[in-house]
Structure 1
Amino acid sequence: MATHKVEYVVMVLMCMAVVGALITTAEVDCGQVVSFIAPCINYLMNGGAVPGECCNGVKKVVLLAQTTADKQTACNCLKAQAAAISTFKNANAEALPAKCGVNLPYKISSSTNCNNIKF
């Protein structure tokens, strides 16, 4: 009988470890990316000073997208947003990561090929 209790405890602990790993694995979705980048919209259209909230959002996108798949998803979300904004300025978007002190492995542009991201 004691052997069954030990097996049960080991099984429960293994399940908890698997569930814990799944919970901590972040997957990027477009809703998150768009909400993080929303404070940047005025800068992306008009230039000028980059708001602190914008840089915080860009940094969150970089931190959130760690896998190749997540980076490609974030890239595709940003690409779609760039295409949706008629007054979007590519030069402002290209300057944004450097102004925020982060490195993006892709350009924020409606013409970026996000499938080329292989990190």
Structure 2
Amino acid sequence: MASSMSLELACVVILCLAVGAPQSQGAITCGQVVSTLAPCIVYVRNNGAGGGVPAPCCNGIKSLNAATRSTSDRQSACNCVKAVAAGIPGVNYGLTNKLAGMCGVSAPFKISPSTDCKSVK
């Protein structure tokens, strides 16, 4: 279990480095996005098993929502989340897109492989 989590974390770090350069236009970095949403990874990979959304996950979503004040920030966060989600096997996109609402936050974009982050306002 710990080895699996270490592999997931390594994938997230590598993906952040890969998408980090394009994110530099916004004030928020991909590293910040990943660190705030990391507590949600196990939940969306396990299809919500174990009950409600973990508090650290909701706290991360709320924190990210508060930090993405500009269009550039939201587009940067969108690109980062989209890239990271694509690199994590077994992500349930339907559940991922419900998380913000389950945490009492209105998400400015949906995450899917076809999301056009340039259209995020």
TM-score category (smaller protein): 0.7 to 0.9
Query: What residue is the counterpart of 1:43 in the other structure?
Result: 43
User: Aligned residues, how many?
Assistant: 93
Query: What residue is the counterpart of 2:33 in the other structure?
Result: 33
Structure 1: stretches of 5+ with no match in the other structure: 1-25
Identity of aligned residues (%): 47
Take 2:72 and 2:99, find their aligned partners in 1: how far apart are those partners? 22
| Alpha-carbon distance, 1:109 to partner | 2.3
Counterpart check, 1:86 vs 2:70: no
Higher relative contact order (CA 8 A, sep 6+): 2
Q: Match for 2:98 among 95, 99, 106?
A: 95
Take 1:51 and 1:108, find their aligned partners in 2: how far apart are those partners? 20
Which ranges of 4 or more aligned residues in structure 1 deviate by more than 3 Å?
none
What TM-score, normalized by structure 2, do the two folds share? 0.73
Letter in 1 for 2:92: K
Structure 2: stretches of 5+ with no match in the other structure: 1-25
| Alpha-carbon distance, 1:47 to partner | 2.3
What TM-score, normalized by structure 1, do the two folds share? 0.74
Counterpart check, 1:58 vs 2:58: no
Take 2:103 and 2:84, find their aligned partners in 1: how far apart are those partners? 19
Q: Match for 1:67 among 64, 67, 70?
A: 70
Asked if 2 retains the 8 angstrom alpha-carbon contact of 1:78 and 1:109, the reply is no
Which entry has the higher C-alpha Rg, 1 or 2? 1
